[in-house]
Structure 1
Amino acid sequence: MAKITASVYTSHVPAIGAAMDLGKTQEPYWQPLFAGYDYSKQWMKDNTPDVVFLVYNDHATAFSLEMIPTFAIGTAAQYQPADEGWGARPVPVVQGHPELASHIAQSVIQQDFDLTIVNKMDVDHGLTVPLSLMCGEKNPKTDKWPFKVIPFAVNVVQYPVPSGRRCFQLGQAIRKAVESFDENLNVQIWGTGGMTHQLQGPRAGLINKDWDNAWLDKLIDDPAATAQVPHIEYVREAGSEGIELVMWLIARGAMADVHGGPKPKVKHRFYHVPASNTAVGHMILENS
């Protein structure tokens, strides 16, 4: 059967992708941030999965404000990097895994989660920046991403957005779906977005280091309690865009300890501010 071996958590700040694409990673402003992913890139080479189930939010690229699915799973064979207004990022086309994606959709919907099935869409920085951070820079003409990707878009842009509790439960359903797939696949699940940031209003530029790191501690040690954090706390303590962190709970809910297994190993943890106007959080958890 397929098995989830690890979960990866990372912010997906668009300026990070721009810094990589424009050759700015060694500039004094950016170098400390990218140094925090040196371990991760080597870990990725040593632990390359067959498939990554990548949880992210679309930034009005594949879905406009005219149609906003709460949870949307990509079932296509490939996904083009999106043009977000200044041209598509110069990264390889993302190769999908339609068979596993369709199986997960079938299983999760039968577990009473309503998913939107997406057979064609472009993927924006929310998905491609995490790939670049974990896999390094890739030439779109000569390179490929080292694994297939199932995009899973969550609405954290327009209220109402799903609760942390619902996302955590969804992660549990995804784990069950993966483990019922009749093929020996190494699967990782990634939760992206966050950490604290606000892009508008009087609190634009908000960063809350203490809250971020306390939240990370709780995510590791007591994910069920973390899932109970209400929306208003995210908005108050982490800024209006800090609500993106509920997507990390999908990945955490899919780990073995939530299902009675051993606690995961923390292989890497990193936190940095600022990246543009966002706090960057990153973590790798391995199932024991």
Structure 2
Amino acid sequence: MAHVSATVYTSHVPAIGAALDHGRAAEPYWAAVFAGYEASRAWLREDPPDAIVLVFNDHATAFGPDLVPTFAIGTGESYAPADEGWGARPVPVVQGHPELAAHIAQSVIQDDFDLTLVNRMDVDHGLTVPLSLLFGQPPAHDFRWPCPVIPLAVNVVQYPVPSGRRCLALGRAIRKAIESYGEDLNVQVWGTGGMSHQLQGPRAGLINPVFDHAFMDMLTTVPEAAAAIPHVDYVREAGSEGIELVMWLVARGAMPERADGRAPTCVHRFYHVPASNTALGHLVLTP
């Protein structure tokens, strides 16, 4: 049967994609960011996944203000990089896994989560930047990403947004679905977005390392405590866009529980300020 072998967490700062796309990764400002992912890239090369469920939020490219699904799963065969106003990123088309995606949708919907099924959409930096960070920057014309990716979009743009508890429970339902899939697959679940940042208003540029580190601690050892954080605390402590961290809870819920009740193994942890005008966080957890 399929199994969840690891969960990966990372910010998806759009300026990171721009730095890669324009050959600026070696500049001192950006080199420190990319150096923090070297250990995870090496780990991935040693144990590559057969498929990834990647939790991200759309930034008004696939879903506009007229249609805002709370949870949406990509069930298509492929997803092109989106044009976010300055041209599509020069990275490969993302290959989907329609069979596994359909199985997850069937299982999760029967567990009372109302997923929107999306057979066709473009994917923006929320999905492609994490792939570039963990797999490196491939040439678009002659390269495929190393494995299929199932996009799972979560609304953290238009209130009301789902609670942390609901996101953690969704992750557990996704793990159950994956573990009931009949093919022997090594599946990873990635949670993206965050960390503390605010893009507008009097607090634009807000970064709160104390909150960010506390969140990563809780996520690793006591995810129920992280899931109990109310939305107002994200806004107060982590800025208006800090709410993206609820997507990390979907990935954490997908982590298999250890028989002895202990926390998962932290393979790598990285935190950096600033990356553009945000705090950047990254974790790799294995059972």
Q: 1: distance between equivalents of 2:258 and 2:235?
A: 26
**1:45–1:103 CA distance, 2 compared to 1 (3 A):** same
Tell me if 1:241 matches 2:241.
Answer: yes
TM-score (norm 2): 0.98
1:1-288 maps to which residues of 2 (within 5 A)? Answer: 1-257=1-257, 262-287=262-287
- Residue 260 of structure 1 deviates from its aligned partner by 7.1
CA contact (8 A) 2:258 2:264 kept: no
Q: CA RMSD in A?
A: 1.0
Q: 2: distance between equivalents of 1:146 and 1:82?
A: 20
Aligned residue-pair number: 287
**1:274–1:214 CA distance, 2 compared to 1 (3 A):** same
Give unpaired runs (5+ residues) of structure 2: none
Runs of 4+ in 1 over 3 A off after TM superposition: 258-262
What is the SS of the residue equivalent to 1:64?
A: coil
Q: 2: distance between equivalents of 1:95 and 1:281?
A: 26
What is the SS of the residue equivalent to 2:92?
A: coil
What is the SS of the residue equivalent to 1:240?
A: coil
- Residue 41 of structure 1 deviates from its aligned partner by 1.1
- Residue 257 of structure 1 deviates from its aligned partner by 2.0
What is the SS of the residue equivalent to 2:68?
A: coil
1:2-47 superposed Cα distances (whole Å, 9 cap, x missing partner): 0000000000000000000001011111111111011111111111
Amino acid at match of 1:226: A
What is the SS of the residue equivalent to 2:28?
A: coil
Aligned sequence identity (%): 68
What is the SS of the residue equivalent to 2:190?
A: strand
What is the SS of the residue equivalent to 2:157?
A: coil
Amino acid at match of 2:155: N
Q: 2: distance between equivalents of 1:134 and 1:58?
A: 20
- Residue 143 of structure 1 deviates from its aligned partner by 1.1
What is the SS of the residue equivalent to 2:247?
A: helix
Q: 2: distance between equivalents of 1:63 and 1:267?
A: 34
CA contact (8 A) 2:72 2:118 kept: yes
Q: 1: distance between equivalents of 2:211 and 2:12?
A: 19
Give unpaired runs (5+ residues) of structure 1: none
1:88-134 superposed Cα distances (whole Å, 9 cap, x missing partner): 00001100000000000000000000000000000000000000000
- Residue 258 of structure 1 deviates from its aligned partner by 7.4
Amino acid at match of 2:13: V
Q: 2: distance between equivalents of 1:69 and 1:157?
A: 11
What is the SS of the residue equivalent to 2:267?
A: strand
1:192-245 superposed Cα distances (whole Å, 9 cap, x missing partner): 000000000000000000110011111111001111010010000000000000
- Residue 255 of structure 1 deviates from its aligned partner by 0.8
Amino acid at match of 1:159: Y
CA contact (8 A) 1:256 1:263 kept: no
Amino acid at match of 1:80: A
Amino acid at match of 1:185: L
Amino acid at match of 2:17: G
Amino acid at match of 2:115: L
Q: 2: distance between equivalents of 1:227 and 1:249?
A: 7
What is the SS of the residue equivalent to 1:268?
A: strand
- Residue 256 of structure 1 deviates from its aligned partner by 1.4
Amino acid at match of 1:3: H
What is the SS of the residue equivalent to 1:256?
A: coil
Q: 2: distance between equivalents of 1:255 and 1:34?
A: 26
